[in-house]
Amino acid sequence: MTIMPENEDKAAQVRFFGRRKSRPLKPRQAELMRDLLPALQLTADDAPILKTPARLFAPPAREMVLEIGFGGGEHLAHQARTHPEWGFIGCEPFINGVAKLLSAVERDNLANLRIWDADARHLLPLLGTETFARVFLLYPDPWPKKRHHKRRFVNQENLAQIRRILKPGGEFFFASDIPHYVAWTLWQVRAHGGFAWLAERARDWREPPPGWLSTRYEQKALKAGRTPAYLRFIRTA
């Protein structure tokens, strides 16, 4: 599947490699995709308001949070419930994951959440500079084969966009159960130079932060004997 980027300054095409759908949706999920998603869905047509994303909500959100690749939406919904005065944007092109999040939105009546159901790389350039307090990237596809490493989301271009949208002192939070991707991320962030790693001792990256919600994917990783790492970076001035 090849998607043309919204940014016309990019002449090259951006190819999306992830899954879009797996098993058929349940009837109620299909109804939510049809009836609820349009009210929460962000597209390139929303570019003007995305420059000041807090205005997506009424009253305007006190802080803005972005989660890239929210999977089944457990963490994102938990964050939205915990911080009702904040605004959340979740990116996820996987249709089944979007449907699961919509079920949580309906169940918990979450009004502080919007969804970008496409490639996050097309959203980042539309977001206003220094408008987000946090960006989460949790268990992204590790693309373990060396020839596929270039597909990893953590790269210099995406880090530049993440730093741009973060406020000074804003946090970029990364989690993975793949040691090579953890090392890759530390190297990429250090090479970028616009972030500071908050870890001072091993427990700072081996243990999740207070109030952490362990997702179904993380539980599977733990049962399989894989150890997650939690990397917290802040944008430097």
Which residue in 9, 45, 108, 141 is the catalytic one? Answer: 141
Pick from 70, 45, 19: nearest CA to 122? 45
Active site residue 117: no
Q: Which residues, in sequence order, are CB contacts of 189 under 8 Å at separation 6+?
A: 154, 159, 172, 195, 197, 231, 233
Q: Tell me the two tokens of residue 167.
A: 């406020």
Q: Which of 144, 200, 145, 199 is nearest to 174 (CA)?
A: 199
Cα separations in angstroms, 196 against 64, 124, 129, 189, 190 = 20, 21, 19, 8, 8
CA dist 168 and 235 (Å) reads: 6
Burial class (CB in 10 A: 0-12, 13-18, 19+), 114: middle
Task: Return the active site residues.
Answer: 141
